Amino acid sequence: MFDRAAMLFLYTETPLHPGSGTSLGIVDLPIQRERTTGYPMIQASGLKGCLRDVAAGDTQKVKIVFGPETQGASDHAGALSVGDARVLLFPVRSLAGVFAWVTSQNVLARFKREAEMAGLSPNWDPVRPTDEGTAFVTNGSMVVADRKVVLEEFAFTAQPENAVKDIAEWLKTNAMPQDPEYKYWRDSLDKRLVILPENAFRDFVQLSTEIIARVRIHDEKKTVERGALWTEEHLPSETLLYATLFASKPRVKDEELPDDWKQANDRAGKILEFVEEAVDGKRLQLGGDATVGRGIVKVRFVKGQAQTQAASKIQTRGQS
């Protein structure tokens, strides 16, 4: 049983390549995607590995939180469960305002469901335009021109909707990085936020990712080596993703616990505190192409209530 939960928000500062390892299309190295929706994602195993690497200073606590290394994997499981990172806001080129953050009712509904599990209680309801050619915006939106929202080459009729403002205000406070350098981005969120019809959002996250061509240059000739041209797909900068974290009590004997954890009444809380201290407000590198500056994300760690009703009902294997 999980006793505590939290939400991890990831804001991409440079293009992010969570590679899928296989290619069935025209892009040589595509990104990971959900099977049913086609939305971009970061698989939990990769995210967990990054978190473990960042927190690697205290070997004893890392083993308790994330589990032993492969050779000792049968000793016990880690106390932290990491979910897949999913897209919440996706940046799309806009005729007005440079770019818009787009989302959809499906994305917002799934996020709210997971946020409730993490004890965050969003105070808004997901909404969606009933017409395929309409987009919900706020009054005074900077991405509206002549009552139209033009994203890439597609035009939507702009319809002001109060719920968009409510969602933007909540995300400013609870999801966006709170550092001073992010004030501009927080302040412009409500003016850039667009809620699209489901099909339109799906098309943008499938077709408007960043495709980067890579080449390998011959050392002496300074020309492209034969066969050394390939393309990579990236999530663009300014994408906002989220992942849910769950924590249980440590799965080790009391004598194996650190001294400062032995007397704690809320040991699952200690698990989340350890992760929070390691990553909150930090910049991490996720995905491939680290040596060319890809995958830099700003992390926001938000803890939920002491024990959420939804999280406490999630039973782990061996429980009944």
Digit-coded pLDDT (tens) for 180-192: 999 999 999 999 9
Digit-coded pLDDT (tens) for 252-280: 776 677 767 877 678 788 889 999 999 99
Dihedral angle sign, alpha carbons of residues 114, 115, 116, 118: positive
Residue 219 has pLDDT above 90, yes or no: no
Alpha-carbon span 131 to 162, nearest angstrom: 17
Calculate the average pLDDT of the chain.
Answer: 89
The confidence band for 311, taking pLDDT boundaries of 50, 70 and 90, is low
The confidence band for 218, taking pLDDT boundaries of 50, 70 and 90, is low
Q: Which of 44-48, 70-74, 162-166 has the lowest mean pLDDT?
A: 70-74
Residue 94 has pLDDT above 50, yes or no: yes
The two three-digit tokens of residue 268, written as one number: 């699952």
Alpha-carbon span 50 to 284, nearest angstrom: 8
Domain boundaries, the chain: 1-18+44-83+238-320, 86-208
Residue with tokens 């919440």: 88
- pLDDT mean over 288-312: 81
- pTM for this prediction: 0.91
Under 8 Å CB-to-CB from 226, ≥6 apart: which residues? none
The pLDDT value given to residue 49: 92
- pLDDT mean over 4-17: 96
| Cα 182-186-192 angle, rounded to 5 deg | 125
The confidence band for 221, taking pLDDT boundaries of 50, 70 and 90, is low
DSSP string over 91-105: EEEBSSSSEEEEEEH
Reduce the DSSP state of residue 279 to 3 states and report it. Answer: helix
Reduce the DSSP state of residue 134 to 3 states and report it. Answer: strand
Kindly report the CATH number that applies to the domain delimited by 1-18+44-83+238-320. 3.30.70
The pLDDT value given to residue 320: 41
Alpha-carbon span 30 to 17, nearest angstrom: 8
Digit-coded pLDDT (tens) for 149-172: 999 999 999 999 999 999 999 999
Residue 215 has pLDDT above 90, yes or no: no
